[in-house]
A and B are shown apart, each in its own frame.
Chain A
Amino acid sequence: MKTTFAFAAVAAFVAVSVPAHADNMVFSSWGGTTQDAQKAAWASPFTEKTGITVVQDGPTDYGKLKAMVEAGQVTWDVVDVEGDYAAQAGKNGQLEKLDFSVIDKSKLDPRFVTDYSVGSFYYSFVIGCNADAVSACPKTWADLFDTTKFPGKRTFYKWSAPGVIEAALLADGVAADKLYPLDLDRAFKKLDTIKSDIVWWSGGAQSQQLLASAEAPFGSIWNGRMTALAASGIKTETSWEQNITAADSLVVPKGSPNVEAAMKFIAMATSAEPQAALAKATGYAPINVDSAKLMDPETAKTLPDQQTASQVNADMNYWADNRDAIGEKWYAWQAK
């Protein structure tokens, strides 16, 4: 009987997990090449400077984050999340307020700063095209929805997130500054017209594969993936016409055991030099306005922050307030 109880006790102990050590902090992101770049550009110099070890974890999972906060057993100190999620979680009380006496926000792009989050990097949905596979590449969202002028399959992001609905409305002629509140019925009606020509991508690697193999020779892609694709030797074309921006954000879950270290880490990660280093490695834009001058102009030119004239900002607050309602309609439409 004793062994039974000992076993149960051990199991229970394992189940509630162990808090992180004081000289450590944990950073969670989405894995893959982006997290590798974040480790090299942010975590390594941070550890060098402060002596605090940054343990990498991931992938980020909102369900897990919520569970940690609710159970009071938070093992992530800084988390890379999507902008609309950051806005929602901040409102729902699941995040620590950021300490702007430690984090210098004067140099940060104000579009991506809230009380609870700062941008991690920012990206755009652009119109990407495998120029080897087609005679002409679509230039605008209207082109991408025009199956007569541009026959063939096109690829879009599968999940309910900022990007596709905006593209549909822009293609249907809605002015960029009149997008919100989103006219969902109109968007889905427009999407209906190309539904059978859509191949969905659910992750960045898949979007690259679809374009490279010409399974879907064009579509709406994260700009960083186009940079990577061009580097792999495929002849690509990227149209920045009405590129739709969204940002990843850095947040601190409520109850993080290393809030102080977390604030210092965010301060470092959002400072000019590490932001520039990350941009160089990923093709995503820095959110620190001083970073651009630290990069060679050729690289800087390919980033979304140089395309602001034709840029459409996805409204993270609108998405945060309407995530569930949009999601429900989105999946209903997809499954139809």
Chain B
Amino acid sequence: MSTFSDASGAIAPLPKARRATGFGGVLPALAFVAIFFIAPVAVLLLRSVLEPVPGLGNYAQLIGSATYLKIFANTFIVSGLVTVISLLIGFPVAWALAIMPGRLTSVIFAILLLSMWTNLLARTYAWMVLLQRTGLINKMLIGMGLIDKPLALVNNLTGVTIGMTYIMLPFIILPLYGVIRKIDPSTLQAAALCGANRWQCLTRVLLPLAMPGMAAGALMVFVMSLGYFVTPSLLGGTANMMLAELIAQFVQSLVNWGMGGAAALVLLVVTLSLYAVQLRFVGNQNPGGR
């Protein structure tokens, strides 16, 4: 940290030093971003317009191909679905965590974090074993006489959605928990005193107050889902191929960096635009203002 005050060239009282560091203080961070983020993206962009021949051929091929468009659409559908389901499951969990007694909260947190720290591949394979036709869930359902033919739970959209939602849940629960815990319980009491019923308390008080957490969590889950590779590759069928898998195929296997670069760039641009839109949206909705 001493670097920062060195860079400002002055030994000043702390608050002033902080302001004074200004641009100089962020230079290392900027250099870091430039080297590890902007440079590779620039190279990607160059490759996508230079290989195999200069021009926009790769982009034309991407947009002109029904297959690739389908993969794009599928990527967004899966990500959207995972985001919505994560929110629906995550919100009650986060709420429960926020109002639960402390000891129980830490147990649930431990479970959440342990699942996050377990190897991703192991977790995905575990789902495969659970969901397949000869898997535990189907065997149980058949054993109980609820179904007589195994359900197709894996190698399709269902499998991807279940697997990805499971993996994304902590990323939505944690930010939501943070926001909900900060909500003053007396606001709900006040609403009730003013005659709001339970539904109105939820929709007109709690949800708006939790909105920033929901938006942040949803954005994170959606964006992470867009680039997801392992889980869709293992739990999905070929009809639900996602963009990351296509990019990996272009780069690693077909060694077609032009197309890989173009696909990656489209994904990046879409993601950043969504982020920008979301920032505005959250900015307006945030009761505290920005």
Residues of A within 8 A of B (CB): 1, 3-4, 7-8, 11-12, 15, 61-64, 66, 153, 158-160, 199-200, 202, 206, 209, 213-215, 323-324, 327-328, 331-332, 334-336
For B61, the closest partner residue in chain A by CB is A328
Chain B positions near chain A (C-beta within 8 angstroms): 3, 6-7, 24, 27-28, 31-32, 35-36, 65-67, 70-71, 74, 125, 128-129, 132-135, 155, 233-234, 237-239, 241, 246, 249, 251-257, 260
Q: Is the CB of A335 within 8 A of B254?
A: no
Known: A11-B36, A202-B233, A213-B129. A332 touches B253 (CB 8 A): no
Which residue of chain A is the closest to B65 with respect to CB atoms?
Answer: A332
Cβ B237 vs Cβ A1 within 8 A: no
8 contacting pairs across A/B (C-beta < 8 A):
A1-B27, A4-B31, A62-B255, A66-B257, A158-B238, A160-B254, A199-B155, A334-B238
Q: Which of A62, A200, A328, A335 contacts B253 (CB 8 A)?
A: A62
A209 to B128, CA, bound (A): 10
Smallest distance from the beta carbon of B106 to chain A beta carbons, Å?
36
**In the bound complex, do residue A3 and residue B31 qualify as a contact, i.e. CB atoms below 8 Å apart?**
no
> Chain A's nearest CB lies how many Å from the CB of B13?
23
Q: How far is the CA of A251 from the CA of B224 in the complex (A)?
A: 37
Q: How far is the CA of A181 from the CA of B7 in the complex (A)?
A: 67
A7, A63, A336: the one contacting B239 at CB < 8 Å is: A336
CA distance A15 to B31 in the complex (A): 13
Chain A nearest CB, measured from B174 CB (Å): 31
B252 / chain A contacts, CB cutoff of 8 Å: 61-64
A63 touches which one: B125, B241, B257 (CB < 8 A)? B257
Cα distance, A3 to B2, chains bound together (Å):
11
Q: Is the CB of B254 within 8 A of A323?
A: yes
With A7-B28, A11-B36, A202-B234 as contacts: A335 and B70 at CB distance below 8 Å: yes
Name the contact of A335 in the complex, choosing from B7, B36, B67, B257 (C-beta under 8 A): B67
Contact yes or no, A8 B35, CB < 8 A: yes
CA of A153 to CA of B241, assembled, Å: 20
State which of B6, B256, B257 has its C-beta within 8 Å of the C-beta of A324. B256
Q: Which residue among B3, B36, B67, B257 has the maximum number of chain A CB atoms within 10 Å of its CB?
A: B67
- Chain A hits for B125, CB < 8 A: 209
Among A158, A202, A215, A336, the residue within 8 A (CB) of B134 is A215
CB proximity of A240 to chain B, nearest CB, Å? 27
Q: Which residues on B sit within 8 Å (CB–CB) of A206?
A: 234
- 4 closest Cβ pairs, A-B complex: A334-B238, A332-B67, A63-B251, A215-B132
Contact indicator B254/A327 (Cβ below 8 Å) = yes
Give A29 Cβ to nearest chain B Cβ, in Å: 15
Known: A7-B31, A209-B125. 16 other contacts (CB 8 A): A1-B24, A4-B27, A4-B31, A12-B35, A62-B255, A64-B252, A158-B238, A200-B237, A206-B234, A209-B128, A213-B134, A215-B134, A331-B246, A335-B71, A335-B74, A335-B241
Using Cβ atoms and an 8 Å threshold, which residues of chain A touch B7? Answer: 1, 3-4
Chain B residues, Cβ within 8 Å of A63: 251-252, 255, 257, 260
Interface centre among B3, B238, B252 (most CB of A within 10 A): B238
Q: Which residues of A contact B6 (CB under 8 A)?
A: 3
